[in-house]
Structure 1
Amino acid sequence: QLLVNISHSVAKLWFLIPAIPMGMFIFVKLLRKFNYGRIGWDLFLLQIPIVGNLVEKNCLARTTRTLGTLVSSGVPILEALTITRETAGNGMFERLFSKVAEGIREGET
């Protein structure tokens, strides 16, 4: 009986099957337009077991390559960190690079 009830519900509400994933996609796109929404989404991605490792490694590879190229080209470290922050592609990494740059600017170790 349960299976029959589920079948009838799905037959009546078939339009919700594609609407729910589309609604979630639109919600995430709108959420990422705001700074805290983007940081929250990026933090969520980093906490997913397999995806988080891939995102973290991708961001680290991109940022270390950029920072290394800029520093070896003679760009001052604060300017290099600012440029590297913009290439991170992840709100959490951008926030961390901002903190590092601020710490260097204030003379912290």
Structure 2
Amino acid sequence: MSRSLKAILMLAMLLAVILAGILFSDLLRDRQALHDLEAQLADSRASWESIAEKKEALQDELKVAEEALKEARLTLQESVERADSLRSDIEALASEIAAFGP
């Protein structure tokens, strides 16, 4: 083989080794980036699951609060009706007392 051919082959081998090194470096960088993205995805998934659990708990609390409010409204309505009834009874008794007056 001629000297120039050997030099070209050596240069080609050197370039191949450099290219392989660059590709390997890129591969390692890409693997690390993928690992970082997978970790971020896992964190995001955990956050969303936590948020979903909190949402369900808050919805349950809201249902309980709505039921309590509903019962309180019914109790208030019953109390108002009872107060109106008592007021009518008191007015009727006051009228009877006034009729017996001095």
The interval holding the TM-score normalised by the smaller chain is 0.3 to 0.5
More helix, by proportion: 2
> Which one has the largest radius of gyration?
2
State the TM-score, normalized to the length of structure 2.
0.33
